[in-house]
Chains A and B, each alone.
Chain A
């Protein structure tokens, strides 16, 4: 049974993912991964303030194309980040995710990195759009993610163009089959 590869927690998130979908007019979007590697994760956030007037993640949703582990890590990070202050959300690391899922197979550990990256990018997007100060760590992370993306994009120009075409504007009448 598949449950041998994945823990009960992973399977539960895979079967019933929490917070999937889009947020209308999000305050920040984090897009990571690519179709060539086989995992694509989008995280949407809405930022609000708690009663101490600190900025918190008021709402969070995800959309993911990927394997069981990728779906589970996306689902679990939205749970972990919900209601947290931005500072707290930025502290969520891959080990926290893996722990919440009762572990991941070694070969799937990168999926937890992907989830952390997606959330970081969403927060980065929010901060930079609102001309707020961006913590040094977050900036470094953002640069690393973008650099990786550029490498892949260069290597697979043809495919990434196709990906963009599909994501952005495929005419309705061009439906296949």
Chain B
């Protein structure tokens, strides 16, 4: 088996930083209290919860009372769309999303469509960017909400959030952004960007799985999905996952501290990996935008090789990656994101996502630059598509 163990799938999930684990540990054992309890154990948990809320709010220049903790980004996104739809005056039925949202937005929108809401899906250009001008035209007096992700999970494209926020503010509609991939990686300021709702998740930024949050600007009408004991100011009943939330806050604190340096370091590694692979492997191109891109995302189309085969072979060589290819997942459909940016089937099937993170080193990148071209070459040798094109 391979000696190397290189993880390049940080966009899927990240390991929990040991410093985060350390911060969380006491909240499983000695400080296990329920935040709703009146005794000191409960109050200790409550205190940790509120402190965490402040840390997370602070990263995006929000007020702590505007953060609602959830069990995942999926829950937060469902909450944003459905909660807004249910809270809107009955004649308002229109929601706008982009065509490259994460499945939890796409599916929530589809479900709302069945409930009688009208959904518009903004097209994107070849880089994956929505057009603010087109958005402006789509907004009507019946529009409840615009939901456009901050950065795309597959191709890393960073959307013009500030511009979208401005348009929404001027038109008087609410704006939600799914910042799951960008939170803690690039700066976000909900005030400057006119964001009304924002989704984030701990496990994409070295925190634990099972914790997310939804920022909801004060005064934004939202109907809860979970009713019960009135936790999270009545917005989300459920016994509070204190340890998870403390971990989320610690992860946020670390990302904040290291953001500038890490952004620079990863951007350099990202660009090196991209350039070397495009140079070394024929018929290869970068998917998405070269400039408006997350510092840790590389997504390449190696024409005429199949993504799953690449992922599995790289795995045997000790490199963990992922693909937008049909065969990779349990649904045999090509990625809606790669389709939306106009890739041809032979490029979609050969697309590979490599996402970098805190423990990615230059040595890792050099190893991938060495082995990946060999993998592509071998698979192309078996493929009937090689000769004429390459």
Residue numbers of A with Cβ under 8 A of B are 1-2, 5-6, 11, 14-15, 17, 20, 31, 35-40, 42, 63-71, 107-108, 156, 159, 162-163, 166-170, 175-177
Contact = CB atoms under 8 A, between A and B. Distances in A.
Nearest to B312: A2
Interface residue tally of chain B, by bracket?
A: 20 to 34
B309 A163 contact: no
Nearest to A10: B312
22 contacts: A2-B311, A14-B312, A15-B316, A17-B382, A20-B381, A35-B349, A38-B327, A38-B345, A38-B349, A63-B382, A63-B384, A64-B382, A66-B309, A67-B327, A70-B306, A107-B330, A162-B346, A166-B346, A170-B389, A176-B283, A176-B389, A177-B278
A65 B383 contact: yes
A140 B346 CA distance: 30
Contacts of A5: 312
Contacts of B315: 1-2
A65 B304 contact: yes
Interface string B295-319: 0000000001111110111011000
B384 A159 contact: no
B238 to A, nearest CB: 33
Contacts of B65: none
B306 A67 contact: yes
Chief secondary structure at chain A's binding surface: mixed
Contacts of A42: 384
Contacts of B267: none
Nearest to B314: A2
Interface in B258-298: 278, 282-285
A161 B370 CA distance: 35
B382 A71 contact: yes
B344 interface: yes
Given A15-B316, A35-B349, A40 B385 contact: yes
B344 A162 contact: yes
Interface in B53-85: none
A65 B312 contact: no
B173 to A, nearest CB: 37
Given A1-B315, A162-B344, A65 B388 contact: no
Given A11-B316, A63-B383, A170-B388, 16 more contacts: A1-B315, A5-B312, A6-B312, A35-B349, A35-B385, A36-B345, A37-B326, A37-B332, A40-B385, A63-B384, A65-B382, A65-B385, A159-B344, A162-B344, A166-B389, A175-B390
A94 B30 CA distance: 58
Given A38-B326, A38-B349, A40-B385, A66 B282 contact: no
A166 B385 contact: yes
